[in-house]
Chains A and B, each alone.
Chain A
Amino acid sequence: MGALAEILFGGLFQGSLYAMMAVGLALVWTTIGVFNFSHGVFMMLGAYFAWQLVEVGLHPAAAFPLAVLATAGVGWLLQAAVVRPLIGRANLVLVVVITTLAAGSLIENGVLEIWGPRSKQLPPLVDGNTMIGSIGVSLHQIAIIVVTPLILGALWMFLTRTRLGLALRAVAQNEDASQLVGLNVTALYGLAFAIAAGLACLAGIFMGGYRFMSPVMGADPLLKALIVVVFGGISSISGPIFAAYLIGFFEAACSYYFGLYWTPALLFAVLILTLMVRPEGIFSSRGRGLA
């Protein structure tokens, strides 16, 4: 009973973080058709923004939304600087991998320069600890488990129920036709990047509340998010969300039964198997398209 509870809780918690990260990657892929390798850096930068705002005396309830907005702004700018000018190139996907990696590396070192290498920590979303059955958990973790589906649900509603969300989905499916109904494709690209960066910032805030922050804190979540989107399929945003939780549970079960040491190896084994059996991802159909 204790094992199951621990795996369930661990899976839900890790899955929430992965989902938050992976959805942003998927959003950018489906709308623009590029992989954003600075996504992990958005997460780190968001956490540092939040830390700085809390440090100058803002209440977390004000600091966190401000940090999300600021990171979204950085996402928009980064898109305008290193993605938009390249659109239309034949080798766009590869070039953008390089430019976003480069930009990410610059930001990472900039953060190191500004905030220094010393680890920092954010206040948790909710203070305190509690017991679920026999396992002790922090309220911060529970808050993450509760808040993540709400935010992803809101994103889902935005994409499926609003005209702007409809426009984003349209751009993801057919760029020429989108232009011919008068959509501002460049602005929608910027919006996709900004939303992705905002979500990454939230993931950073979640993570900074229970682990120490460092300028390289985004690297591992980016890798996990990549695994999630490859596993779940990148042609939609619901695929990665389900995959994120599945991988969360898988990791929790692996670390419980085989230990933390074996978990990454097993994870990659599953990934390779997925790529061999269903290269388009387990929840996916071929082709791009949001929702």
Chain B
Amino acid sequence: MTPILTVEGITAGYGRVTVLNDMSLEAGRHGNVGFFGPNGHGKTTLLRVVSGLLRPKAGRIVFDGEDITGKSARAIVGAGLIHVPQGNRIFPDLTIADCMSLGAYSARARPHEAENREKVVALFPKIAERWRQRVRTLSGGERQMVSIGTALMSHPRLLILDEPTLGLAPRIKDELCASVLDISKGGVPLIVVEQDIEFLLELCRQLYLINHGTVATEIKPGESIAHAEIMSMYFGQHQDH
């Protein structure tokens, strides 16, 4: 299987601050990919570069054989790479129904609008009950469902989720994790940024630890990894407990 996404030597940042430093990785050769690592070390910046929100200073991004470096976010959505940003701040004053129509805005997604809407409704019956409600009136978990639902409406060929369970109550989080697993089983390859390693291990066969704006460690399929080891990666030394 060829990788669906290749990141080659990406350097990027904001203004004079460099966040990503010559980062390279491959995703999709072995199914889903998980990113983890401490906050503020470039995970979200990497996703912003990949989806065209931020132009890299150097490097190349290839999506499914096509060089998408420096292309507009719109073109990248058009190619089927869909990014669900962190923090479910989508469109506070639009209704869920509006968000779903927006999700199907691109020419690629529009013919599949009805079929994708059925999928979203089946996946998230909770938001289907509140179809005409404004997003700002929803709970954090429901808003996350709307974010992911909107992305599914875009008919993704690769779906990127940035910390989908951030700040959610445990029960809601479990529900959402189950839904993400369902999406994956439905055949959409995923790239997921998560702090919950257990969830990532369940979902992905390949993990990257991102630290100091570069790939610190790659965990390949088949390589087992102990919890303590991951903790040591986070904190830089072995812990005794």
Query: Taking beta carbons and an 8 Å cutoff, which residues of A are in contact with B?
Result: 163, 166-167, 169-170, 173-174, 176-184, 287, 289, 291
Contact = CB atoms under 8 A, between A and B. Distances in A.
A108 B84 CA distance: 46
B94 A179 contact: no
A163 B101 contact: yes
A179 B151 CA distance: 12
A173 B83 contact: no
Nearest to B84: A180
Most A CB contacts (10 A, CB to CB) among B52, B94, B154 go to B94
B53 A182 contact: no
Nearest to B109: A182
A179 B74 contact: yes
B91 A182 contact: no
Contact of B85 (A163, A177, A183): A177
Interface string B85-101: 10001111110001001
Contact of B74 (A174, A176, A182): A182
Given A179-B52, A180-B53, A182-B74, A170 B92 contact: no
A138 B174 CA distance: 69
B150 A181 contact: yes
A177 B153 CA distance: 14
A184 B73 CA distance: 9
A168 to B, nearest CB: 11
B102 A174 contact: no
Interface in B73-129: 73-74, 77-78, 82-85, 89-94, 98, 101-103, 105-106, 109
Contacts of B84: 180
Interface of B: 51-53, 72-74, 77-78, 82-85, 89-94, 98, 101-103, 105-106, 109, 150-151, 154
Contacts of A166: 94, 98, 101-102
17 contacts: A163-B105, A169-B91, A170-B98, A173-B91, A174-B91, A177-B89, A177-B90, A179-B74, A179-B77, A180-B73, A180-B77, A180-B84, A182-B106, A182-B154, A184-B74, A289-B92, A291-B93
Most B CB contacts (10 A, CB to CB) among A163, A177, A183, A287 go to A177
Most B CB contacts (10 A, CB to CB) among A167, A173, A177, A180 go to A180
Given A174-B89, A289-B93, 18 more contacts: A163-B105, A166-B94, A166-B98, A167-B105, A170-B98, A170-B102, A174-B91, A177-B85, A177-B91, A179-B73, A180-B83, A180-B84, A181-B105, A181-B150, A181-B154, A182-B77, A182-B105, A184-B74
B85 A181 contact: no
Given A182-B77, A183-B102, A184-B74, A170 B94 contact: yes
A174 B84 CA distance: 13
Nearest to A169: B94
Nearest to B135: A173
A262 B52 CA distance: 55
The 10 nearest A-B residue pairs measured at CB: A182-B77, A179-B73, A182-B106, A289-B93, A173-B91, A181-B102, A182-B74, A177-B90, A180-B83, A170-B91
Contacts of A170: 91, 94, 98, 102
Contacts of A291: 93
A169 B154 CA distance: 18
A252 B15 CA distance: 53
Contacts of B74: 179, 182-184
A174 B90 contact: yes
Contacts of A176: 53, 85
Nearest to B154: A181
Nearest to A163: B101
Most B CB contacts (10 A, CB to CB) among A166, A181, A183 go to A181
Contact of A173 (B52, B73, B78, B93): B93
Contacts of B103: 181
A183 to B, nearest CB: 6
Most B CB contacts (10 A, CB to CB) among A167, A169, A176 go to A176
A179 B81 CA distance: 12
Contacts of A179: 52-53, 72-74, 77
Contacts of B90: 174, 177
